[in-house]
Amino acid sequence: MEEVRTRRSLLKLAGSLATLAAAPLPALASNPATPVACELRFFHTHTSEKLSVVYAENGTYVAPALAEVNHFLRDFRSGAVHPIDPQLLDILFEARQRTGGTGTFEVISGFRSPHTNEMLRGRSGASGVAQRSLHLFGQAIDVRLTGTDVSHLRKAAIAMGRGGVGFYPESDFVHLDTGRFRTW
């Protein structure tokens, strides 16, 4: 039964990626200053994995690159993979541009399975990790950007006026998501 569910999930994911690959970039496509290739570099602080990926070219998402990102930002505790909202990548790309930085995003947390999210809620208390966190839906990431102070990354993200921007200076990271605009 689990194998069938997994196969169905993979087929559904493949269909979603094919649709996205043909879709224009909503946030960046209308900007004449958008480069031909949108590249991001990542380092995962828990797995020490690295990824450099061109996730969009000529205003279109690149399906194989999105699949690489999905795997890279998986729940590293369980291995569960979930589609990452490509608009989250757009937010990262634009935030890095606004900082003037060229560094690598150091990933603290990407996708979280429900089990991992509940475990983290138990550790931090209900106020530290949201019960319906956007991490559960592949719409949130906790990062820092090498060569850029996290307070500068936070200011750049706030200036964009979209998605959630959480600031955790004591832990040295910024939470970014594709939800409604809000800050904390």
What's the total number of domains in the chain? 1
Answer yes or no: is pLDDT of 20 > 60.
no
Encode pLDDT of 72-98 as tens digits.
999 999 999 999 999 999 999 999 999
Task: For the chain, list the strands marked E by DSSP.
Answer: 37-44, 50-57, 60-61, 105-109, 140-145, 164-168, 173-177, 182-183
Encode pLDDT of 156-180 as tens digits.
999 999 999 999 999 999 999 999 9
- Model confidence, pTM: 0.81
pLDDT category, 33, cuts 50, 70, 90? low
- For residue 109, the cross-strand partners are 142
Residue 104 tokens, joined = 């690598």
Distance between CA atoms of 166 and 142, rounded to whole angstroms?
9
Long-range (24+ apart) CB contacts under 8 A made by 79-83 are: 80/111, 80/113, 81/111, 82/111, 82/113, 82/137, 82/138, 83/13, 83/16, 83/17, 83/138
Q: What is the pLDDT of residue 23?
A: 45
Which residue did the predictor score with more confidence, 57 or 25? Answer: 57
Q: What is the pLDDT of residue 28?
A: 53
Answer yes or no: is pLDDT of 60 > 90.
yes
Residue ranges making up the domain that contains 34:
2-183
Which residue did the predictor score with more confidence, 105 or 117? Answer: 105
Which residue did the predictor score with more confidence, 90 or 120? Answer: 90
pLDDT category, 127, cuts 50, 70, 90? low
Distance between CA atoms of 63 and 171, rounded to whole angstroms?
33
pLDDT category, 18, cuts 50, 70, 90? very low
